[in-house]
Structure 1
């Protein structure tokens, strides 16, 4: 005989609960919510609509990073059981870490995560999931400049710093801010198919699948502040001018070290080999030129230190995951006559 649970009709809604804390990034909430809300207008026949609820530890209106308030808000403990998708949003690092240490928040997140079909961390919301142990041994991502912090908050987290989002079912994490929209669009596609997701993407004027990773939006190369003076001086010089002779011998001579010593010290201080850093610095310079000029790619390649357009294309394919032309279309100046 079928059990009572098996014979019970499904609820009329798919409950999606968003959890936020004071200092939340408005877009971390509004963007993903809009994806589910617009999806309700394009669901296939017979599909249950999403029901969206915003929760917080107190239930009071939330102060946002932009200075506005979000509401209405339900206290977390008053959220109805049976949440299908639990979404933890990002925002103020201080508020998130305080929430992660809160004796009420952590066990609530853990209990609700066990009961939910899937758990989502939007941007730095992944920090709360990590502190609750939900990312231990899983692949995950977060905003590019919080990846090291995410790594420190759990055990065996495999952080993918360049991913737009990472699926490690039943836990999903997205990269910085707008990447939460990409992730929730993918969840809608998983629930209702590509046609529904494409309709949502068209209405919100989004990529159904955004090309490239977080590296295309990073704010430059990060070098450890505690790096030894010769390495700091060399990396600063390469960022200022990555052209010219950047062979191992030339770089070692500029640093006053042997090639072997430089290779060992450079990796210890930056996490990269000298050659990898040079390529990354040249890509950063090429990005700046593509954003600010209408020069042909051959001139961009030369001014960025690449030997050819082909070398520029290969470096972009590896590090930015889109072509220089696509990068310019998105971030460059308007073409003449447009």
Structure 2
């Protein structure tokens, strides 16, 4: 299969390119497209055969649910069987945007789209290309991140091409995504809403909007028998080829630990990269991120850059688990093979 690249302006999407991509979706094939979070791999969410192609192209386990993307609030009524008042509050405040809500699914949604669950995860992206594609396709679009399963999520069209060239029909190149980590996911099928995956819409913002929100035990590092109603919960994710070591603790102690590890791995002949919030340059492959938003926007991009440079070990300084920091640390915890408390 030849994967076609469609260059489309992110601010003023050209309708000709959008229509070409939408026709591919309507024919039951796959198109990767940008959202404000990461690039998604899209198929007609209501076409079971088309959705199956997503799992095959990504090498994704069939029990890992997909997020269904819509272009208007009214579409939720077709996809969900029971829409609580809290959903209306969240939709009004955060849509379009990086928030996914989990509801009881309607009979319209195939089980393959929901990973076999009786719930459906829905969001309305803010990205203009994504919105135009969904509208022109005339159907909700199921779209996980457009990477091979377990790899760092793609924030550039090049990342998608690196992973899925020849496995999908087309990629819409709309430039770098803005947020850089996947959407926040909240489960509204419970008596008390539960945060399943943290992201740009923060726990604090959710609590401000609707009151109490429980946090899934997995996000606290605990085991749980609760059903995994969101992607990004059940399996190892976001991992580069390099060995990621996450180091948490007081900044000065983390600094000393990084210096020690850089020296230790250097003696072993290993190539080391460092991601830090400090100004220190530990190696020539040190990347400093000054804010949490900058960290989120560039995390997966840095992982992929390290792989392209054949970095053996990536040392990452942890940050406080508050605001978008909770989402960043969730991704780092999933990606890290080793975790150290300095």
Same fold (TM over 0.5): no
Query: Which of 1 and 2 has higher RCO (CA within 8 Å, sep 6+)?
Result: 2
Greater fraction helix: 1
In the superposition, the TM-score normalised over structure 2's length comes to 0.27
Greater fraction strand: 2
